[in-house]
Amino acid sequence: MKYIKKNSVIFCIYLLCAVVRGEIVSASLAAGLSAIVAGGMAGFNFVVCRFKECCGDRWIHENFTGLAEELNSKLYGQYLVVKPVVNHLKGHSKGNPSKALALSFHGWTGTGKNFVARIIAESMYKKGMSSKYVKLISATKEFPHEEMLPLYKDKLRELIESSVKQCEKTMFIFDEMDKMPPGLIDTIKPYLDYYENLGGVDYRKAIFLFLSNTAGGDIAEEAMKYWNEGKKREDITLKDMELIIQTPALNVKSGLWHSELITKHMITAYIPFLPLERKHVKECIRDGLITGGYYKKRSEIPEVKVSEILEELTFYPEGAGIFSTTGCKRVLEKIDYVMEEV
């Protein structure tokens, strides 16, 4: 009885705060009082999660239709990315997956790896990248010293275990995997394996995204090969690119060097990000001109202005200038440079 009274008082405090702030208190929220009195903690959690982020459907909504639409409309030149990313995420969300989802993004700087990771977070978590259930781990910031590998392993292990205990649908984004000390990433192998229970915790609903420049040169070389042979960019297949990615990912001395995540087939899929052509960078420029407030609609943007900004960026190979050396990464700063000229 004391427990129920205590929770009832707490509920009333939340209810009063909502009224003081001028919020409309819904019937479902008001009904929470009777739920607390009758159900104790279940009702209390209902109220808390009304105001505070919790590991539930209210805060983790998994909008895969919206994700596909967002990627198709804002991600340029990456036809090998959208379908496998959306399908793997959608399939993993159904029922009880056999293991945690692990997607490894590969490609040069500016091709969209971080952009896609952010859109995934925004489509699945109400608070996006600000969600406490989305963990962004920058290799250069968190693991700068190779000689501290044992300490880093403990740190990484603690982060994953504490995070998934708090929410089984936690998403981990490992940025700059190619700069991570070799051997460190194997620390997470047990959490990616086919265990239903590991130390009392089920890790199979967690999501791991690995972002790396490794194999970016090999991916670009394959794209250039198709261009030189007069073949369409769209003829490049995901299956062929996965084979091209795996060899350097395993053998180049970086984050995945000789990693058991590769040799033991813990990676669900390798996602290639192709180098961007001029037409793709132009689309990024148009988006940037609108988000920067220089124009309100695409139809208002003069093509000559797009071309002027494009000329501030570098392309290769020399002479032909087919692919952008920095993708869309430097587009915004070049837009500001050109548009603010006096």
Q: Pick the residue with more confidence: 25 or 104?
A: 104
323-324 and 315-316 beta bridge pairing: antiparallel
Same structural domain, 39 and 98: no
pLDDT score of 185: 87
- In a domain? residue 59: no
Q: Which domain holds residue 79?
A: 64-273
pLDDT score of 81: 98
Same structural domain, 36 and 96: no
Total structural domains within the chain = 3
Residue whose entry in the numeric block shows the structure tokens 């250069």: 140
Tens of pLDDT along 183-203?
898 899 999 999 999 999 999
The mean per-residue pLDDT over the stretch 165-192 comes to 93
pLDDT score of 334: 97
The mean per-residue pLDDT over the stretch 129-143 comes to 97
- In a domain? residue 74: yes
**Residue where a domain terminates, one of 10, 29, 51:** 51
DSSP per-residue string spanning 31-53: THHHHHHHHTHHHHHHHHHHHS-
Same structural domain, 10 and 100: no
Long-range contacts of 225-234 (CB under 8 A, 24+ apart): 227/322, 233/77, 233/274, 233/277, 234/79
Same structural domain, 241 and 262: yes
The mean per-residue pLDDT over the stretch 149-178 comes to 96
Torsions phi, psi for 189 (to 5 deg)? -55, -45
Same structural domain, 10 and 131: no
Which of 300, 274, 303, 293 is closest to 332 using CA atoms? 293
Same structural domain, 38 and 90: no
Same structural domain, 309 and 250: no
What global pTM score does this model have? Answer: 0.85
Same structural domain, 268 and 289: no
Tens of pLDDT along 236-273?
999 989 989 988 776 666 556 557 787 888 899 999 99
Same structural domain, 236 and 123: yes
How far from the centroid of its chain's Cα atoms is residue 31's Cα?
37
Same structural domain, 83 and 43: no
